[in-house]
A and B are shown apart, each in its own frame.
Chain A
Amino acid sequence: MDRPLRLIPTEVTPAAELARTLEALLVVASQPLSIAELEAATELDAEQVHDALQLLAERYAEGRCGIVLEHVAGGFAFRASIEASDACARLFEKPVEKGLSQAALETLAIVAYLGPVTRPEIARIRGVNVDGVIAGLVERGLVAEGGRENEFGAVRYRTTPLFERVFGLESLAALPRVDDLGDDVAQIRERLEAVGR
């Protein structure tokens, strides 16, 4: 009575077959794979890949098994399910985001929203020197150099795909807007004047 374990129905549709292949690719990959990369590996077109990904997204939704498929950093990747977090935490560290200071987060926010930006520009907004903070973020792999202002100009910094992955963003465009948040200039001005009186 040893029947094979059936995760996929026996009548294998083309999409289900492709889903198996994508599953295999994603389990080998150590960073998110884009649709273009999946197309190239399977030698199929975007629509077919998309359909198969839909199948996988259902199968690997949170709560169904130990693996979850997520759309992150411009591609698709497997991660551990949230139920497994305690066990994972006993065995693994999260060195990239561990102990990020407030200064590091503010700098990261400026690079993410206004990037690519130079160190003097960040320092102007934060009001303090940011050389050390930037070096720390580069070391963590959250920020990288992205060209220069001009030939002799200052180096510009931008966030990396790892930043998007750690923060669970599909892309930088998925960042929430800050324009409408916080006090505007007029309100702050009123408060300044109130203090001056």
Chain B
Amino acid sequence: MALAVRELELDLDAFEGPFDLLLSLVLREELPLREVDLAEIVVAFVANLADRGELDLDACGEFLVLISALLELKARAMFPEEDAELAELEPEEAAEELARRLAEYRRAKEAARMLRERLDLRRDLFFRLGPAPLAPRPERKLAQQEPEQLAAALRVLATPPPQPSTAHMGLRFPPVAQFLDRWRSLLRRRARFDFDQEVEGLTRVEVAVAFLALLELRKQDEIAIAQASPFAPIRISRVAAERSLSWTVRSA
């Protein structure tokens, strides 16, 4: 029997019931997606799939579409809107910016039209294409060599090399908690900081884990993350303390 993705029973921290209900609650914005752990849904689906012992490709496809839609929604919810910069502008400035972008695109279209004309001019011209079989460069003549020097050089090579270290082979993931502590203590001292500056000198993996820690803090509403444009520096600022205080009071 086909696996009904929408009837998949979920037992999460934030929600308990069928997947279908979760979807409609999220879409009606009655359940904040930020509180739903999407990884748990994936685990539940895979477990359900394993219980059945057969691969239902239709169900997998439907599930992939739904879970990726949820992931996109969640990702968007965590970051300010892309066009917020345009929305924040005064109508005058926005019109100016729009006109500038239109003019830029117009130039691109104009350039494309000229390329098309050139191409039409050369439509009837044929030439040979293909890798050129270039001759190898002639070897340089060597100066007179000393056999003794060669022997000395070979002796150095003949000694067994030191055992290579394979320490760098295993990817070592520093715990996210380590960066959570680091960011929290940094935020106690400063209201805002620049992500790129703080992770300077760290390895690629460390930078990735440091970023995961930021997402975690964002998820828990402790910080705000802002980026002016793609690839621009990521700025992190502390969320106002009164807000978290009032929450504590209410829940107490």
Determine how close the nearest CB of chain B comes to the CB of A100; give it in whole angstroms. Answer: 7
Q: Are B115 and A167 in contact (CB under 8 A)?
A: yes
In the complex, per-residue mask of B196-239: 1 if CB is within 8 Å of any chain A CB, else 0: 00000000100100000000000000000000001100000000
Q: Are A108 and B126 in contact (CB under 8 A)?
A: no
Q: Which residues of A contact B114 (CB under 8 A)?
A: 109, 175-176, 178
Report how far A85 CA is from B110 CA in the complex, Å.
28
- Does B127 have its Cβ within 8 Å of any Cβ on chain A? yes
Determine how close the nearest CB of chain A comes to the CB of B146; give it in whole angstroms. Answer: 32
Partner of B126, one of A30, A79, A100, A179: A79
Partner of B132, one of A31, A92, A106, A178: A31
CB-contacts of A72-111 with B (<8 A)? 77-80, 82, 84-86, 88-89, 92, 94, 96-97, 100, 102, 105-106, 108-110
- Does A158 have its Cβ within 8 Å of any Cβ on chain B? no
Count A-B contacts at CB 8 Å: 122
Q: Are A168 and B122 in contact (CB under 8 A)?
A: yes
Chain A residue nearest to B116 (CB atoms) is: A105
Partner of B106, one of A88, A149, A152, A183: A183
Q: Are A108 and B128 in contact (CB under 8 A)?
A: no
Q: Are A167 and B119 in contact (CB under 8 A)?
A: yes
Report how far A175 CA is from B114 CA in the complex, Å.
9
Partner of B96, one of A88, A165, A166, A189: A189
Beyond A92-B126, A167-B119, A178-B114, is A106–B109 a contact (Cβ under 8 Å)? yes
Report how far A110 CA is from B230 CA in the complex, Å.
19
Q: Which residues of A contact B116 (CB under 8 A)?
A: 105
We find that the number of chain B residues with CB closer than 8 angstroms to chain A is 39
Q: Are B102 and A188 in contact (CB under 8 A)?
A: yes
Q: Are A149 and B125 in contact (CB under 8 A)?
A: no
> For chain B, what secondary structure do more than half of its interface residues adopt (helix, strand, loop), or is it mixed?
helix
- Does B156 have its Cβ within 8 Å of any Cβ on chain A? no
- Does A146 have its Cβ within 8 Å of any Cβ on chain B? no
We find that the number of chain A residues with CB closer than 8 angstroms to chain B is 54
Report how far A162 CA is from B132 CA in the complex, Å.
13
Report how far A1 CA is from B110 CA in the complex, Å.
61
Report how far A189 CA is from B94 CA in the complex, Å.
11
Determine how close the nearest CB of chain B comes to the CB of A41; give it in whole angstroms. Answer: 9
Q: Which residues of B contact A169 (CB under 8 A)?
A: 118
**Stretch in contact with the other chain, from A8-16, A52-60, A120-128:** A120-128
| Cross-chain pairs A/B with CB under 8 angstroms, 17 sampled | A30-B130, A78-B127, A79-B127, A86-B124, A88-B124, A89-B124, A96-B129, A112-B115, A113-B111, A125-B101, A167-B118, A168-B125, A169-B118, A175-B114, A183-B103, A185-B96, A192-B95
The 9 A-B residue pairs whose C-beta atoms are closest, nearest first, are A85-B124, A109-B111, A79-B127, A88-B126, A189-B99, A105-B112, A80-B126, A106-B112, A109-B112
